[in-house]
Amino acid sequence: MTEGRLALGDGIDVAATLHRPEGPAGPRTPVLLLPGARGDPDAAHLVAVADVLATAGHPVVRAALTPRPPGQGVVGTSARAVERCRQVLAAARTHVAAQVTGVAADAGWIVGGASYGGRVASLTVADAGGAALGVVGLLLVAYPLHPPGRPDRLRVAHFGGIDVPVLMLSGDADPFLTEELLAAHAGDLAGPLTRLVVPGGAHDLAVSGRRAPDGRRRDPAAAVAEQADALVAWAGAR
């Protein structure tokens, strides 16, 4: 991993970490992962997803959306967050093309992130369309389908504009997502949906012993490792 900053222009830069691809076959589709509402690109579940994909040959950039330290707020309005996502993606493209041999500046990318970061990525794809952004897949970790306890406030109005394949990875104990409601609105997506579920997983994918089907607790890295084969297969098809 290489830690650094991405320059977004106008004197703004954000923290970013590049996971270099492993394996002899050359790099596969690059991936941008954005953090949740606390703004922490080093969250354990985000790092775990990045590690799995990099091990399979994908260059992965974990990047913040703001220059502020984690915990000091999100970007602002949805429109501002979408614009910032586009800036981060453009900067990540330039960075990876310069740092990873075999990745062209115009390569197709998978974009996504954890919770809020995934939602921002999905709004960005819906706003512009995958082809215009050079995005070939959307990877949503713990997508916040609705606020906890508020299934009436669904975040699905933009689903019809998401025209790329989508993978949603989350736990079945996540209070931000109700499986029945997701199933009811999955057909609203313009692109195909692949669903990966962590049994007993919370919003950060961690599984407590009480919720685990086998009684064995799992930290986020262990929970992601159990989904690795399906995650890699989906990403490898982009």
pLDDT in tens, 146-169: 999 999 999 999 999 999 999 999
pLDDT per position as a tens digit, 93-120: 999 999 998 898 899 999 999 999 999 9
Domain extents for the chain? 2-236
**pLDDT (tens digit per residue) in 44-87:** 999 999 999 999 999 999 999 988 777 666 777 888 999 999 99
The DSSP letter of residue 152 is T
Class of the CATH domain delimited by 2-236: alpha beta
**DSSP notation for 23-59:** STT---S-EEEE--TT--TT-HHHHHHHHHHHHTT--
Question: pTM of the prediction?
Answer: 0.95
Structure confidence by residue, pLDDT tens digits, 210-237: 888 898 999 999 999 999 999 999 999 9
| 207, β-bridge pairs | 201, 218
